[in-house]
Copies of this chain bind each other. A is one copy, B any other.
Amino acid sequence: MATTTAAQRREQARAEYDAFLKGCPTNQLLDRISDKWVALVVSALAPGPMRYSDLGRRIAGVSPKMLTQTLRTLERDGLLTRTVTPSVPVRVDYALTPLGTSLSLLLTAVKDWAETHFDEVHRAREHYDTETG
C-alpha cells in the first residue's frame, strides 16, 4: 500500500527539524547557555581567571566530571582559555576570552530580565495555581 502514515510523516518532519535545529545558531547557543553548569562557570570567571579546583569549590556541588566537561566545551567554543603551568604540582588556569566576556554580558541581560519580571511571573503562577485548584 501507498500508506505514508501520520506517524511516518511526523518522524520525517522531526528528522528534518532536528537537522535544522542542529545547524541553527540560536538553538546551538541556547543549548550552550541552558546547560546547568555553563552559566555558573561563565559568571564565576567573569571577574577574573580561576584555577580548576577554585572553580570546583566556588561552584558547590559540581562533580569533577561535569566541571571538566563544561570547561572543555566552553574552551572548544572559544569562550575561555585553558593555561597549563607545568610547575609541581601542575597549575591550570581558566580565563574568559573576549568572546566569553561578551557572552557573560548576554547572561547579564538574561539575569536582568529574570529579576525584573520575577514578581510578575510569580504572581501569574499563584493565580494559575489558585484558579486550577
* Known contacts A10-B61, A60-B14, A75-B128; A113/B39 CB under 8 A: no
**A133: min CB distance to chain B, Å:** 13
A-side residues, CB < 8 A to B, are 10, 13-18, 21, 25-31, 33-36, 39, 59-61, 63, 75-79, 99, 102-103, 106, 109-111, 113-115, 117-118, 120-121, 123-125, 127-129
Contact A128 B26 (CB under 8 A): no
| Closest Cβ neighbor of A113 among chain B residues | B106
| Closest Cβ neighbor of A56 among chain B residues | B10
Top 6 A-B residue pairs of the complex, sorted by shortest distance between their CB atoms: A34-B34, A78-B124, A14-B61, A29-B114, A13-B60, A17-B61
CA distance A114 to B103 in the complex (A): 9
Contact B99 A16 (CB under 8 A): no
Q: Can you list 29 residue pairs at the A/B interface with Cβ under 8 Å?
A: A10-B61, A15-B61, A17-B61, A21-B36, A25-B114, A25-B118, A26-B39, A26-B114, A27-B39, A28-B114, A28-B118, A28-B121, A29-B110, A30-B39, A30-B114, A33-B34, A33-B110, A75-B128, A76-B124, A76-B125, A78-B123, A78-B124, A79-B121, A79-B124, A99-B117, A99-B121, A102-B113, A106-B110, A109-B109
